[in-house]
Amino acid sequence: MANFFKQIFKPKWQHKSEDVRATAVSQLSDQNPEQKDILIQVLTNDTSDKVKQTAILQISQLDHLIELSHSNNKSIQSLAQGRLSDTLSIENKQNWPKDPQQIRDLVISLPNLPTISELVSQITDQKQLAKIAEQARVAAVRQQATVEISDEAILEELEKAVKGKDKGCQKIIRDKLSSLNEARERQAMAEAEIIQTIQAAEQQAKLPYQPLCEAKLDTLQTRWNKIKADANSEYQAQFETALNQCKQIIAEHYHAESEKQAQVEAHKDAKEEQEATITLLESEQDGIIEQGDFNSPALNALLKTQANRWQDSCETTKPSKSLENRYARVCKSLEHFIQAKDTLEEKKEELQALLNSETPDLDALKSFLASLNWPSELKEPELLTQAHNALGDAQKEQRRVRSNLKQDCKQADELLSKAEEMLTEGTLKGIYHNLRQAQELMQSWPNERKINKRLRQLQYKFKEMKDWQDYAVLPKLEELCDRMESLVDADMPLETLSSQLKQARNDWRELGYGDNNYGQALWHRFKDASDKVNERCKPYFEAVGALREQNLELRKSIITQLTEFVEKVDWEKADWKVIDKLYKQSIEEWKQATPVDRAEVKKIQDSFDQPLHLLKDRIKAERDKNTQTKQDLLEQSKELLSLDNLKQATDKAKTLQKQWQEVGICHRRQEQHLWKEFREVCDELFGKRSDQWKEQQDQRETNLHQAAEIIDQIKQLAQSDVEEAKELAAKLRELQGNYGNLGSLPRDHYEALEERYREASDLVKERMSELKRAHKAKQGEALVEKLRIYQSISTKSLPEDEATQQWQALNIDDDKLGKVLESAWSALLSGKSSLQPTTEDKLRELCIRSEIIADKPSPDADQSLRMSLQVERLSRGMTSGENQKETTTSLLSEWLSLEVPSHNFDEYLNRLLVALEYK
């Protein structure tokens, strides 16, 4: 009755019916504490999944679900986590908490859910993330929160909090702090680079223009373009200011250069104007001389216009001395032309009157011609010619003396050619003499315009070159005088002073100028100063003299040592490297022993040359011999290229290389050539060897793959379904033969391959042993059956026909054993043999003897009998010289000759079979 009432008042959530319980649970809510406890009790104890699923759906409070998700009850934990996953799914995102602190607390307490990462991403506050990283239950959440933190101070505090607790977060923090440090360092470096670039630009802006200014500015601009993204506005303004200043400096420089270039162009134009003026006037002069006449007013106007042109160009650029002289000469010549013609026109009637008189006044006529001073370059008018003819017999005689016009012109032309050649070479000495001789020859032939014109041109060129020499050399001579005078009181070491004295004198000699008064004056000035400097250098000259004496003695000592060495050296055992070094050292020490008085050196030079040349000849002979030796080695190396055995060839080449190194001194150039050729031969030889080795290596790699395949085949053979040991052995031998015929294998794989090969072969051998043991066991069973049949015949317990049929059905593979059995069986059936009576001791003895020959242990009880049998066998062998040994077949024959014992037969038979390894 009590149970009845219990059933009546039992809550429906405890009803027997699953559906009733589920309906009752669906009416509960976790907001009611009592109902919450019931829901948890249902989740804990109810056996129905449907009821549990209903109960978990009734829990809507996240804190209740989180608490259940960490329950020790795996079932409740799973249901609660599933409910949380649904509640916090992406589809229900609108129902998620909005307050960051609530999300933080939720994330910290939640188990591992699919959307927990999304919840963490809702939080941006660094401190909230730090709490999650420190307190969250899920490691992945802690690490995600740690990754989201970027505040360095918070990371440092968090590192202290998780140290030793969460290695994953700790590693992330270390990496982030390291990255922040690196970023800070990069920023500092970038800022330093910015500051350095600005300072470099500002420094450049303070400097005047330099040739590499633009290149430096381009470099700075390139540097700035790379870093300006990291620069603030203040830095950018600083750089732009400095940059503009640099550009301004460059612009000002180019403006100044432009003005300077304009000046240069102006000077150039002025110089060209001066040259053109002179050229025009000289051309006009040549034309007048060639034509023999001119228009005085036109020529006078030309001179005035060209004078204005010359004056304008001189205001821009002062002409050179040579140009000034040329201009003055041509103007003076043309003015002379005008004056002479104008004078002749004015006094023409007066001259005509003198000529028309019956007795011309020769003195007046001569005076008139002298005052007229007609230019020799111009053709004389007829009137003047008449005047010259009237001067008398003296002039006619002079003309007759020089009547050989052709000879004079030829001689003058030769002289002018020599002068022209000397002018081309720049040699002034002798030119004046040639020009003077040509001028004297042509004075009588003013009408020979061609030669006279050439003479004038060469005279102009000579004058111009001489003027240029005056202009170029005299300032240098003045400079040399100043330099020498500055040395008189110069404060410098006497050695330096004497060197500069010598150099100045050499410079004066090279200039070689002193053929005018001013040059001679400069020479006396230079000589006076050089004498004073020479007086100051006397102590140094005396010291140098003493040094010359010392060096002379040193050279004599070198001669003595060198001569003694040459006389005493054993050329057959000579160390040629030492001799070669001595030869070079002697020459070097001889050269270093300077200065030496040249006169004294000439006296001892032969004494030095004689032993030195002997050394040189000996060294040359040794070099010749050794060079030939290396030539022979080269030829031997070339012969190696034809050898088929490259290993033998390369070994021989190594020997030749060693011999090459042992050869002594050689001629350097020839040795270099021979060595280059020898090395090329060796390189070719070793290259062939390398190629061969590569082929062998490739073959080894091929063998390696084939070996691995064979080993795999051997392993597969061990697991094959072959049941015959002989067949397995044949296949193993075939694979082992293939393995053995592979050839060489890579050394670094050889031991591992051999180990794998042995292991695989051992597996097959073990398999063969198992098959042999199984076969032997079957043979043992057949042997036992044959023995039982044999015994049944002897005891007549089995009809002979049936026994024979059973006997023949059994097969023994061992030929010897089979013959023994068949012989005994035939003898037994034919009645030719009779079985001897047996005892248990006899069977025991047979077993022990079989164990002895099989080297198998005997039972402890039979140890003394075994010892006796062994001693007996030993004694019998020593006394009778018996060499025959007992065998399995002999023991089995003896066993078959015995009658079947009445008892313990199986025990001894088993011992026999074990000893004979048939069991």
In this prediction, residues 130-158 reach a mean pLDDT of: 82
> Please, which pLDDT band fits residue 394 given cuts at 50, 70 and 90?
very low
Number of C-beta neighbours around residue 422 at 10 A? 18
Is the bond preceding 446 in cis, omega lying within 30 degrees of 0? Answer: no
Burial of residue 242 (number of CB atoms within 10 Å: 0-12, 13-18, 19+): buried
| pLDDT in the model for residue 6 | 41
CA–CA dist 426, 465 (Å, integer): 8
Phi first, then psi, for residue 97 (nearest 5°) are -60, 145
Q: How far is CA 339 from CA 374, 378, 383, in A?
A: 9, 13, 17
> Please, which pLDDT band fits residue 68 given cuts at 50, 70 and 90?
confident
In this prediction, residues 905-910 reach a mean pLDDT of: 75
In this prediction, residues 92-118 reach a mean pLDDT of: 70
| DSSP symbol at 94 | G
Range of 181-195, 494-508, 614-628 with top mean pLDDT: 614-628
pLDDT at 468 > cutoff 60: no
| pLDDT in the model for residue 385 | 78
Residue 551 in contact with residue 595, Cβ under 8 Å?
Answer: yes
- 3 state DSSP class of 71: coil
**Nearest to residue 579, comparing CAs of 546, 540, 548, 619?**
619
In this prediction, residues 20-31 reach a mean pLDDT of: 78
534 vs 107: which has the higher pLDDT: 534
CA–CA dist 856, 849 (Å, integer): 10
CA–CA dist 214, 223 (Å, integer): 14
pLDDT at 459 > cutoff 80: no
753 torsion bin: left (phi>0), alpha (psi -120 to 50), beta (else)? alpha
Please list, in sequence order, all residues whose beta carbon lies within 8 angstroms of the beta carbon of residue 105, skipping any fewer than 6 positions away: none
SS (H, E, C) 423-458: HHHCCCCCHHHHHHHHHHHHCCCCCCHHHHHHHHHH
| pLDDT in the model for residue 646 | 76
Lowest mean pLDDT among 121-130, 152-161, 320-329, 691-700: 691-700
- 3 state DSSP class of 199: helix
pLDDT at 883 > cutoff 80: no
DSSP string, 517-574: HHHHHHHHHHHHHHHHHHHHTHHHHHHHHHHHHHHHHHHHHHHHHHHHHHHH--GGG-
CA–CA dist 56, 49 (Å, integer): 10
Question: What share of residues in the chain are helix, strand, coil (percent, to 5)?
Answer: 80, 0, 20
CA–CA dist 145, 126 (Å, integer): 9
Number of C-beta neighbours around residue 58 at 10 A? 20
> What are the residue ranges spanned by the domains of the chain?
9-185, 545-666, 774-915
CA–CA dist 556, 566 (Å, integer): 15
pLDDT at 853 > cutoff 70: yes
The pair of three-digit structure tokens given for residue 600, joined into one six-digit string = 């004294």
Amino acid at 443: Q
- Tokens 């506050």 belong to 125
In this prediction, residues 346-353 reach a mean pLDDT of: 78
Q: How far is CA 867 from CA 125, 765, 872, 873, in A?
A: 97, 36, 9, 10
Residue 541 in contact with residue 496, Cβ under 8 Å?
Answer: no
The pair of three-digit structure tokens given for residue 152, joined into one six-digit string = 């360095």
610 vs 16: which has the higher pLDDT: 610
pLDDT tens, position by position, 250-260: 888 878 877 77
**Nearest to residue 625, comparing CAs of 587, 678, 571?**
571
339 vs 90: which has the higher pLDDT: 339
DSSP string, 177-206: HHHHHHHHHHHHHHHHHHHHHHHHHHHHHH
- 3 state DSSP class of 898: strand
| pLDDT in the model for residue 495 | 79
DSSP string, 823-846: HHHHHHHHT---PBP--HHHHHHH
